[in-house]
Amino acid sequence: MELRPLGTSDIKISPIIMGTWQAGKAMWVGIDDNESIKAIKAAYDAGITTFDTAEVYGNGHSEKIVGNALHDMRGRVVIATKVFSNHLKYKQVINACHKSLKNLNTDYIDLYQIHWPPGSFGSKHVPLEETMRAMADLKAQGKILVVGVSNFSRSQLKEAVKYGRIDSLQPPYSLFWRKVETDAWPYCLENNITLLAYSSMAQGLLTGKFGPNHKFDRGDHRSNNKLFQPEHYKRAQKALDKLRPIADDKNITLGQLALAWVISQPGICAIAGARDAEQATQNADATNVRLSDEELAVINEIGKMVTDHLDDDPVMWK
């Protein structure tokens, strides 16, 4: 798998990144720790070198699973984690980082990200200057190598870079969710900031595995995803019907087509979760898919069947 630069840093990342929100179990249903570990190892065996987690995923449980799975190959992988919006004061960032280091069973974090902007989810608004000062000190101590942000708008990103180098932005981005295209993406391209697209398969919607009458189990947070609400869900099903012949013609899955479309966009890598080893391997194989300019344009138009009807709110969940 051909690696790509992470911003302006010396770190190289895989175009498909394994996301491990589901490994934290909280807000997901039917997740097994052993299967999560097997999925992470299978992703590595298939060429994925980059793994994304966060302190808030199961209150550190995801980080522990990642640390367990990757301990033997630590020097050959890139680990990214995040500090949550309720831990953005200077000492809180330092303490959160130390806890993540312990959870991950490592002495450094390759990419440390601010998970949500200050003030999110009712948290106290902390000046970005204070948070970035903590990031700079952690970087100077070698505990983190690169700083990134997640869910930041263009204006919030421009504010953050006043206080230090930002090498990545992690926004929701898929064929069915493209708010960042008209906001932060152009700025990122101009400033060599890599986009790490999360929900790159629209939380499974773009895999085509959810039928017209699908109902999520109680406790599955995806029931609150705007794309799964009736008016958008019906449009998504029609769009998937148009995408299937393209995937079938290439002998690939719909999910692989969705991932291939994302990583074909300049400056963007795709974060993809997996419940088991088979899903992880399928995700990695998306890097072998080649889409012509004509195919990309057709897929782009199909995606607009969904995105043209969404409002301007950048948050995916109700």
Per the annotation, the verdict on 57 as an active-site residue is yes
Q: How many CB atoms lie within 10 A of CB 9?
A: 18
Q: How far is CA 281 from CA 41, 47, 94, 110, 275, in A?
A: 10, 9, 35, 23, 11
Instruction: Decide if 295 contacts 250 (C-beta within 8 A).
Output: no
In sequence order, the 6+-apart residues with CB closer than 8 A to the CB of 78 are 6, 11, 12, 13, 14, 49, 50, 51, 110, 111
Residue 22 CB-half CA count within 13 A = 26
d(CA 64, CA 100): 9
**Of 57, 112, 173, 198, which is the active-site residue?**
57
Instruction: Decide if 103 contacts 64 (C-beta within 8 A).
Output: yes
Kindly list the catalytic residues: 57
